């Protein structure tokens, strides 16, 4: 095998490198079609198409912000392998990011702190490796999105901890003065995403950061339930993969028409755990999007009571075990 082929494989296998905690000896390689792969730091690889093919789109794809969410890591691995082998010929600039390598190696959501609660400056009030990583990911994504007059898109790929009545859904951040884009919602629909949750307040997640600070279109995508590597075959991500391949190659128009309409919800309230006394009055195995009875007591935290005021409310990410100060669930309503 020629040396260039070995390097190609090394950088195209960013997931393996990251899981092994290995730094590649060659940080830059060119694929046979002239695409440049550049390893920037652990878990982060920039892909630059030849100038003649560049369609002026910058696409950030992140996964592994939570270390136990493997389906999105496998999806990014397949895309990057395709680019490295020449099967996919990028027309856009790409940044691949595996967010929390330490947690990925342990197979845990996080090591010390939930990385996805440390963006938009929160890392400055925290300590430890995840605070440092949030700072690094902000800097790297700001650099990536610093080129003028280019379309900017970020998908931060996750899986949920529990089952979901709608297994593939998106969360769309909010920023003052910006409207949620109808074109982005149509893209989600084409990708087989079944529902979108629209925020109406600023957030501290990775997609909230790139949306608010990098002026990117940015979404968190929830793709099924968290399972170990190799156990994701029941999850159908074929449409999302088609969309991502089409975006990479700049041929979005060739996607087949959507199977079903995207359901739209508004995040009505975020439920916070403010003390260790927090209690959630839901079954442990309740699925995401389960309906909440109007007037029922959802949670208590000492003297604080969370009553479901909203009609047609549903619960997302209920989790009484989160650290004190973090959100323990979202109440959503049809938008």
Ligand X SMILES: O=C(O)CCC(=O)N[C@@H](CCC(=O)O)C(=O)O
Known catalytic residues are 222
The dihedral sign for the CA sequence 257, 258, 261, 262: negative
| Least distance (Å) between residue 160 CB and Zn ion | 8
From the list Zn ion, ligand X, none, which binds 35 (C-beta under 5 to 8 Å, kind-based)? none
- Asked if 158 interacts with Zn ion (CB under 5 A), we say yes
Using the rule CB under 5 A, is 117 a contact of Zn ion? no
Q: Which residues line the annotated binding site for Zn(2+)?
A: 66, 69, 158
From residue 49, give the alpha-carbon distance in Å to each of 28, 61, 132, 186, 216.
13, 16, 30, 26, 20
**The only residue of 13, 66, 93, 273 in contact with Zn ion, by rule CB under 5 A:** 66
Residue 122: exposure state from Cβ atoms within 10 A (0-12, 13-18, ≥19): middle
- Element (DSSP H or E) covering residue 190: helix 182-190
Does 160 participate in binding ligand X (rule CB under 6 A)?
A: yes
Among ligand X, Zn ion, none, what does residue 58 contact (CB within 5–8 Å per kind)?
A: none
Instruction: Choose, by CB under 6 A, the member of 31, 70, 220, 290 that binds ligand X.
Output: 220
Q: Which does 161 bind (CB under 5 to 8 A by kind): Zn ion, ligand X, none?
A: ligand X
Report the residue count for the chain.
335
Rounded least distance, CB 202 to ligand X, Å = 12
Cα four-point dihedral sign 96, 97, 102, 105: negative
Binding letters toward ligand X, positions 281-320, x by CB under 6 A:
------------------------------------x-x-
Annotate 119-170 with DSSP letters as a single string: TTTGGGG--SHHHHHHHHHHHHHHHHTTSSS-EEEEEEEEEESS-BSSSEEE
Interface ranges with ligand X (CB under 6 A): 66, 116, 158, 160-162, 171, 205, 207, 220, 317, 319
């Amino acid at each position: 095998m020629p040396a260039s082929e070995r390097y190609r494989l090394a950088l195209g296998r960013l997931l393996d490198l990251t899981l092994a905690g290995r730094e590649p000896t060659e940080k830059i390689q060119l694929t046979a079609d002239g695409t440049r792969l550049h390893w920037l730091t652990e878990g982060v690889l920039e892909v630059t198409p030849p100038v003649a093919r560049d369609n002026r789109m910058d696409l950030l794809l992140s996964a592994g912000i939570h270390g136990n969410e493997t389906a999105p890591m496998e999806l990014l691995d397949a895309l990057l392998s395709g680019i490295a082998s020449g099967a996919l010929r990028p027309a856009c600039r790409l940044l691949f990011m595996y967010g929390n390598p330490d947690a990925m190696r342990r197979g845990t959501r996080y090591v010390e702190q939930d990385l996805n609660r440390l963006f938009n400056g929160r890392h400055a009030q925290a300590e430890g490796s995840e605070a440092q990583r949030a700072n690094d990911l902000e800097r790297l994504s700001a650099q990536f999105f610093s080129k003028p007059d280019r379309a900017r898109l970020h998908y931060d790929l996750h899986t949920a901890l529990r089952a979901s009545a709608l297994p593939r859904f998106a969360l769309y951040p909010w920023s003052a003065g910006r409207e949620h884009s109808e074109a982005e919602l149509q893209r989600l629909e084409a990708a087989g995403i079944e529902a979108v949750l629209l925020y109406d307040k600023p957030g501290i997640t990775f997609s909230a950061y790139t949306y608010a600070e990098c002026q990117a279109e940015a979404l968190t995508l929830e793709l099924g339930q968290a399972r170990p590597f190799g156990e994701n075959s029941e999850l159908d991500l074929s449409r999302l993969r088609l969309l991502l391949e089409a975006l990479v190659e700049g041929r979005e128009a060739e996607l087949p028409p959507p199977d079903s309409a995207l359901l739209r919800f508004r995040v009505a309230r975020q439920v916070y755990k403010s003390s260790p006394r927090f209690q959630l009055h839901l079954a442990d195995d309740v699925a995401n999007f389960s309906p909440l009875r109007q007037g029922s007591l959802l949670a208590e935290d000492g003297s604080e009571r969370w009553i479901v005021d909203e009609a047609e409310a549903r619960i997302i990410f209920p989790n009484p075990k989160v650290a004190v100060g973090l959100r323990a669930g979202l109440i959503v309503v049809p938008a």
